[in-house]
Structure 1
Amino acid sequence: MSSPAHPVVPDPPQNAATGAVHPVDESRPLGRILLFGVQHVLVMAATPISAIFLMSATLRLKPDVTVDLLSAALLLSGVGSLVQSLGPWKFGPRLPFVMLPGGAPLILFMSIAQQHGLRTATGAVLLTAAFTFVVLPLFARLLRFFPPLVIGTMIVIVGVNLVKVGALLVTGQPGTPGFADPARLGLAFATIGLIVLFSRLLRGVLRQLAVMLGLAVGTALACAAGQVHPGALLSGPLVGVPGPLPFGTPAFDLVAALPLMLYSLAAMAEATGQTVINAEAVGKDIDIRSAVPRTVRGDALTSLLGGLFGLPLMVTSGENIGIVRVTGVRSRYVTAAAGVVLVVLGFLTPVARAISVMPPAVVGGAAMTVFAVITVLGVQMLGRARLEDHTATLTCAVALALGLLPVLVPGVYAGFPSGVRILLESGVAVGALTAAVLNVVFHHLGRRTATAATAVPDGVPGPAARA
């Protein structure tokens, strides 16, 4: 039986029977769309800002280069969000997506830069973007090995990873001064409580803005407690225009780029899960065989453009999926509006600095709430994966164990070579690969059994449907 998230044919903009526009394709008053778009930006903007600051500190970049990279990160996050949300030509699934730098691609970029130089790291990003376009047709043929069991397991791991990211914004890194400071924890818990309170007491548009209101009031509390220092808002120029190739002409080294190219395969699998769970969150019927390649093409195009501005790989973000589910606002034009806001922020440096002033504890508290929703969505998807079958249970259990291992035991792969370690420490990649391989072992190799029906992704017609 087909899941609502996977029909056999691509969805039209309108319901064929009633002519009604699906909520994901529904336009709203401009002012309201911009408000909802700003809410997405406030939740996700900490990621590109922190990614660039981490990159600058690790690689010891000059302040003017850091400013250029921050402007480029916001600008390209906006361009990528527009591509994924509006879906021009064959790029973007036309779902409410935002795009970000950061995560494993950032770590790989910095590793390549430290070993081979920044010009080689930029070349690696450009090579990987081109590699993604080349291997995408082959990957699209493998989508039948990603049923709800595999994708649901992967989404749970993604959600747990993101909750950890949000929690570290609150606590700081273990072993650093001020780790788990009670004042910061109290601020994060207050932000979470405010979001819950606003969701319970408010109605209509205000209720849908509960996350943004929680961030705003949480920041006000932090300011009253002396945890916000707005002096940085007045420093620096008014307008900043990012320059191309900040590190010089790219150097292309296939060996140096190999870890990033290998990671791109895992990123495609993650994009598959992101696309499916996004469609699930908005109640949109999609054909994963066409929607997923559009998402991956959007990732590759944005990464190609970002590489020209010295950025690491850009990836579709799971942050906004949680916001969609919490607020109930499903229109892709909202994330398109967020893209426009991000493009504007890429040029207006004081506004970007204002976002960076927002206390990490406040952003982390809101982020943990939103990210945990993604985990719940993964659990809901697993609920349709017939876990009463012992092979499905074992597949899910082993994939979760291996995928969550680097999250629960940081440094578990410290004894491995650096290239292997970076891949193994991507719990999403390991969990997705494990679930996919076990699914093939149990349901695609040897004599097919009755349980093989669960190995066919929803939306891909089985033998009876094709007959």
Structure 2
Amino acid sequence: MSSRFIGVDEKPALPYLIMYGIQHVLAMFAGIVAVPLMVGTALKLPGEQITILVQGSLLTSGIGTLVQSLGIGRLGARLPICMGTAFVFISPFISVGSQLGIQAILGAVIVGGIVEFVFSFFVWRIQKYVPPVVTGTVVVLIGMGLMPLGFTWLAGGESSLFGQPISFAIGGLVLVILILINQFTKGFWPSISVALAI
């Protein structure tokens, strides 16, 4: 495979498409299932309920992706947009769920979804009141809030391998491979570095 860049409107060759697809599925799947796993684990839900949360996340993300990609009436961007779960809600979910239970989380999600849908028609009007410094700060704070959980997962998560050297070795190896690919390769290879490192 050549190292040249692929243009924005260019259709990549089949080998490129296959590798991009594999990486995208890995990245999207991890992001979609991470939130219900984190919330379910923090609330100490039984495995059956966590499984239902994961399945619900995958189902609704798939429906949202189809609506965005194909469009229904005036809904959807009709662009290849993949919808997923948002990490920004993890802390509120855990806070509400620990006090009022999973039912309160689901009710809040329904109400919040309706409010968000209504606001989506006016977001372009209020966007000028939210400068990049605000959105950037929010993203940094979300990332910092998730760091303890990331380190816990790096150490082995809830498994019997927690704190074992093999857990840190696997996570460190993935990180080193990811950095090396991005630093010492060009063109196609850095764009699939996540899939290669995993």
**TM-score, L = length of structure 1:** 0.33
Aligned to 1:60: 44
1:203-241 Cα distance to aligned partner (Å, 9 max, x none): 5xx4365324422xxx4xxxxxxxxxxxxxxxxxxxxxx
- Structure 2: distance between partners of 1:106 and 1:144: 27
- Structure 2: distance between partners of 1:166 and 1:109: 14
Q: Tell me if 1:172 matches 2:152.
A: yes
Q: Tell me if 1:122 matches 2:102.
A: no
Aligned to 1:70: 54
**TM-score, L = length of structure 2:** 0.67
* Change over 3 Å in CA distance of 1:207–1:189 after alignment to 2: closer
Aligned to 1:110: 94
Aligned to 1:190: 177
* Change over 3 Å in CA distance of 1:86–1:36 after alignment to 2: farther
CA contact (8 A) 2:96 2:105 kept: yes
- Structure 1: distance between partners of 2:103 and 2:117: 22
TM-superposed CA distance for 1:126, in Å, is 0.9
- Structure 2: distance between partners of 1:156 and 1:135: 21
CA contact (8 A) 2:88 2:142 kept: no
* Change over 3 Å in CA distance of 1:208–1:104 after alignment to 2: closer
TM-superposed CA distance for 1:130, in Å, is 1.4
- Structure 1: distance between partners of 2:51 and 2:73: 33
CA contact (8 A) 1:192 1:214 kept: no
Aligned to 2:189: 207
Instruction: Name structure 1 gaps, 5 residues minimum.
Output: 1-21, 220-467
The number of aligned residues is 185
CA contact (8 A) 2:26 2:195 kept: no
Written as runs of structure 1 = structure 2, the 5 A alignment for 1:20-169 is 23=8, 32-146=16-130, 150-151=131-132, 153-154=133-134, 156-157=136-137, 160-161=140-141, 164=144
* Change over 3 Å in CA distance of 1:96–1:159 after alignment to 2: farther
- For 1:178, the aligned partner's letter is G
Q: Secondary structure at the match of 1:23?
A: coil
- Structure 1: distance between partners of 2:96 and 2:11: 43
* Change over 3 Å in CA distance of 1:163–1:96 after alignment to 2: farther
Q: Secondary structure at the match of 2:84?
A: strand
Higher relative contact order (CA 8 A, sep 6+): 1
- Structure 2: distance between partners of 1:189 and 1:166: 21
* Change over 3 Å in CA distance of 1:125–1:39 after alignment to 2: same
- Structure 1: distance between partners of 2:29 and 2:136: 23
- Structure 1: distance between partners of 2:104 and 2:67: 27
Structure exhibiting the larger radius of gyration computed from Cα positions: 1
TM-superposed CA distance for 1:73, in Å, is 1.5
CA contact (8 A) 1:195 1:210 kept: no
Q: Secondary structure at the match of 2:55?
A: helix
- Structure 2: distance between partners of 1:208 and 1:191: 8
- Structure 1: distance between partners of 2:90 and 2:15: 35
- Structure 2: distance between partners of 1:131 and 1:159: 22
CA contact (8 A) 1:39 1:212 kept: yes
1:388-436 Cα distance to aligned partner (Å, 9 max, x none): xxxxxxxxxxxxxxxxxxxxxxxxxxxxxxxxxxxxxxxxxxxxxxxxx
CA contact (8 A) 2:33 2:54 kept: yes
Aligned to 1:373: none
- Structure 1: distance between partners of 2:183 and 2:47: 39
Q: What RMSD in Å do the two structures reach over aligned CA positions?
A: 3.9
- Structure 2: distance between partners of 1:62 and 1:161: 30
TM-superposed CA distance for 1:164, in Å, is 4.8
CA contact (8 A) 2:67 2:76 kept: yes
TM-superposed CA distance for 1:40, in Å, is 1.6
Written as runs of structure 1 = structure 2, the 5 A alignment for 1:223-242 is none
- Structure 2: distance between partners of 1:208 and 1:90: 37
CA contact (8 A) 1:87 1:93 kept: yes
- Structure 2: distance between partners of 1:29 and 1:88: 30
TM-superposed CA distance for 1:105, in Å, is 1.6
- For 1:129, the aligned partner's letter is G
- For 1:172, the aligned partner's letter is T
Q: Secondary structure at the match of 1:45?
A: helix
- Structure 1: distance between partners of 2:65 and 2:101: 29
Instruction: Name structure 2 gaps, 5 residues minimum.
Output: 1-6
Q: Secondary structure at the match of 1:99?
A: coil
